[in-house]
């Protein structure tokens, strides 16, 4: 069974940084592109970023480009999202997922002073 497990969320002040992690199991990790999706309270699902299986290519939503960096360590079966210059509007539950429909349980990021 494929499992994704996020960690690293928390409370951070505006302008601060956080690094989210997503540990994967039950799959050949380096053959899957991995995606971060976020969901603000009471809102819909928003695509944030994706990275190819090799890690050679990555893409970002306009709302996070230049502030967030996606990466992966295929030796550790782990996906990351480095979030810098955080804003109140980044407050959300962050999920890692595989496009074919596997999701983690989410980790909550709150940006507030």
Contact range with other proteins by CB under 8 A, out of 9-17, 18-26, 44-52, 82-90: 44-52
For residues 43 and 33, give the distance between their C-alpha atoms in angstroms, rounded to a whole number: 25
CA distance 8 to 5: 10
The CB-of-83 to other proteins minimum distance in angstroms stands at: 19
Rounded to an integer, what distance in angstroms lies between the CA atom of residue 47 and that of residue 61?
Answer: 7
| Contact status, residue 82 vs residue 68, Cβ threshold 8 Å | yes
- How, if at all, do strands 102-103 and 107-111 pair? unpaired
- Which of 2, 21, 23, 59 is the binder for other proteins (CB under 8 A)? 59
Number of residues that bind other proteins (CB under 8 A): 20
Question: What stretch of H or E contains 18?
Answer: strand 18-25
- Binding flag, residue 35, other proteins (CB under 8 A): yes
52 lines the binding site for other proteins (CB under 8 A): yes
Site string for other proteins, 71-100 (x = CB under 8 A): ------------------------x-x-xx
Residues within the interface to other proteins (CB under 8 A) = 33, 35, 37, 44-47, 50, 52, 59, 95, 97, 99-106
């Amino acid at each position: 069974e494929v499992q994704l497990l996020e960690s690293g969320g928390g409370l951070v002040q505006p302008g601060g940084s956080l690094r989210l992690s997503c540990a994967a199991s039950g799959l050949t990790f380096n053959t899957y592109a991995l995606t971060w999706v976020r969901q603000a309270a009471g809102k819909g699902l928003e695509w944030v970023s994706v990275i190819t299986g090799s890690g050679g290519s990555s893409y970002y939503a306009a709302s996070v480009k230049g502030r967030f960096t996606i990466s992966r360590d295929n030796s550790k079966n782990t996906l990351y999202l480095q979030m810098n210059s955080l804003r109140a509007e980044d407050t959300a539950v962050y999920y890692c997922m595989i496009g074919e429909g596997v999701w983690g349980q989410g980790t909550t990021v709150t940006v507030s002073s």
